[in-house]
Amino acid sequence: MRENAPALVWPTLLRLPSDAVKIVYLDLNHWIYLAQAANGSPQNKSAVVVLEACRRARSAGSVIFVLSGTHYAEMLKIRDPAQRRAIADVMEELTEFATLVSRVVVMEVELSSMLDPVAKLPSPLGGVPLIGRGVRHSAGLQSGLRIMGPNGDETERVRERVGRETFDQFLFETTLRLERSVLRGPADDEVAELRAYGWNPEAVIEIAENRAAEERAQTGRLNAETRWRRGRLHDLVSARELIIEFQNILPRALKERGLALNDVASDKESARRFVRSMPSTEVSIAIKTEWHRNRDKQWSANDIYDIDALALAVPYCDIVVTEKACQHILRTSRLGHRMHTALLRNLDELPSVIDQWQPKRRPMALRDAKDS
């Protein structure tokens, strides 16, 4: 795969932290291990050592531990309130609700950078911070809470009326309560308030289920046309990624930039290069391709959550700790090398990697052009 991989094009509109800090992403299973260590019931003693190392690194300001929309979605499925609270507590301690922006937002700014060289009109998008605070940022919404009235945003007017210090303290406490409630799972008397702020877990679950159904349908087609698994499966998955995952984003972006699809993807090779040059999409394609090689793969919403999480974390975090199967796919695909990301499959490796890893977030595009 390496010799056929196109150079990655990194989005200029995505604002990243400086190389002075390392961005660390842990999947939910590893957060569970840390929560067990924090509660005095670790599966093994090494989890306690790792937790203390994470705390030291966090206090020193050398790392940023981040959450994603996937974490919020997966926490909803944990039935035991005590377990949810224990996991949420250690998440809050290490991340302070630092959260990766929505993958859809990242796809839009990556697409914008792909269109820049041929665009006839300037991009209508503004800069987007990769890391914000809380569940709203993970959904691509404005991170801070706002007070809306009949005439629109009245936050500043209310702040002036009640006094800045009083208002800001109120806003801080309200935001903290909101974040804790969403992550821990809301109590019955908190649900109405959360929904008023836009909390809608059913919609997230429905979208993931619909996308999983698309992949199950594709499994059926591949089982009927077995030649694809013996041949150009990667190209097939790449084409589907453009057709399905960009079906709403791409037509709008082309229109806004005064372009037609033929301007950026005039033949099979240019179309392949176009879709695979976007870093988050390249990760998604790699995982889907390997999973579609298995005719017995049973796609679920959990698979969609995993893909979305890793499509964000692998290109834009420095250290990613995930489960064995995904880590194997990512390393075999050389995505850790191409994106300069440490891909780990167990927590025991984390303290030493935090100490030794040197972020190289720029100039990534130049390095990729040389490596590929």
**DSSP H stretches of helix in 225-358:** 227-230, 233-240, 249-256, 268-276, 279-292, 301-316, 324-332, 335-339, 350-356
Residue 303 is part of which domain span? 2-145+197-371
* DSSP string across 301-324: HHHHHHHHHHHHHHHH-SEEE--H
For residue 172, tell me if it sits in a domain.
Answer: no
For the stretch 179-223, pLDDT in tens is 888 888 766 677 676 677 666 666 777 888 899 999 999 999 998
Cα–Cα distance, 238 to 235 (Å, whole number):
5
For residue 241, tell me if it sits in a domain.
Answer: yes
Residues whose CB is less than 8 angstroms from the CB of residue 117 and which lie 6 or more positions away in sequence, other chains included: none
Question: What amino acid occupies position 308?
Answer: D
The whole model's pTM is what?
Answer: 0.86
Q: Which residue has tokens 């003693």?
A: 45
For residue 191, tell me if it sits in a domain.
Answer: no
For residue 269, tell me if it sits in a domain.
Answer: yes
Q: For the chain of 372 residues, list the mean pLDDT of each consecutive stretch of 10.
A: 75 91 96 94 88 96 95 87 93 96 95 93 91 87 64 70 71 76 75 68 78 91 85 88 91 94 88 93 96 92 93 96 93 93 94 92 45 38
Torsion angle, alpha carbons of 334, 335, 340, 341, to 10 = -110
For residue 364, tell me if it sits in a domain.
Answer: yes
For residue 169, tell me if it sits in a domain.
Answer: no
- β pairing state of 22-26 and 319-321: parallel
Cα–Cα distance, 173 to 163 (Å, whole number):
16
For residue 318, tell me if it sits in a domain.
Answer: yes
Report the pLDDT value the prediction gives residue 54, as an integer from 0 to 100. 97
| Tally of domains in the chain | 1
CA angle (7 as vertex; 4, 13 as ends), nearest 5: 150
Assess contact for 84 and 184: CB atoms under 8 A. Answer: yes
Beta bridge partners of residue 72, listed in sequence order: none
* DSSP string across 143-164: SS---EETTEE-HHHHHHHH-H
